[in-house]
Amino acid sequence: MMDNAKCIIDAKNIVKIYQNGAEELKVLDDISIQVFQSDFTAILGPSGSGKSTLMNILGCLDLPTAGQYYLDGMDVLKARDNELAEIRNQKIGFVFQKFNLMPRLSAIQNVMLPLLYRGVNEKEAGETAKEKLSRLGLGDRLQHRPNELSGGQQQRVAIARAIAGNPPLILADEPTGNLDSKSSKDAMEIFRELNSEGNTIVIITHDVEVAEEVKKIFYIRDGKIYSDGG
């Protein structure tokens, strides 16, 4: 972390409780986590640890039952639904385990999509998408649909889509979970390169080998962050 680095994720005393009839299930228990600009961080934990719930809250896909959450200086818990959608589009680049590409759209159209939602004109969105895909080695696959691409190629399209708008935060949920070992290494190499250029990256994973590639690890178990190092 750089001196005086800007705090991108500032989550304090986050609690998430699900109500199941008369039963309460506390999935997150008083979690506090900070991620600073240019950090390369993993949230590592086994299945059922609460990491997916935490990812959804950090990604503004869900709200905590209690606590505070500031994302790039914005108070997320005071945002309305339409403002949350804008925060997700403007401030977070998502990379998912199952890629979440639109099956009927080409690679370049998938990468253009979040830019078009922002109001970027089609020509500029197309040029940006082409540049990002070419940079990730997919310059000859621009017009291919997801079913015409390998898993590793689909994940590179997803990464290109995540970085297209230069968001303050890249949030990757089990990004190597559906990849073979070579494609996993390639994906992590891309994340390393992006981080070296100043991108702030948080990877949610159960894979110790993936977590060992980053600079700082938060370990989550039973809804609690019980160690972090860096």
| Residue-range definition of the domain harbouring residue 186 | 40-63+91-229
Name the residue with tokens 């925060």.
Answer: 87
Q: What is the pTM of this model?
A: 0.91
**What digits encode the pLDDT tens for the residues 153-211?**
999 999 999 999 999 999 999 999 888 899 999 999 999 999 999 999 999 999 999 99
Residue 206 within any structural domain of the chain: yes
Residue 115 within any structural domain of the chain: yes
- Rounded CA separation 92/204 (Å): 14
Domain total in the chain: 1
In terms of Cα–Cα distance, which of 200, 201, 230, 209 is closest to 218?
230
**What digits encode the pLDDT tens for the residues 85-95?**
999 999 999 99
Residue 28 within any structural domain of the chain: no
Residue 13 within any structural domain of the chain: no
Residue 32 within any structural domain of the chain: no
Amino acid at 202: V
Residue 122: count of CB within 10 angstroms of its CB: 10
CATH, residue 124: 3.40.50.300
Residue 4 within any structural domain of the chain: no
Residue 162 within any structural domain of the chain: yes
Residue 126 within any structural domain of the chain: yes
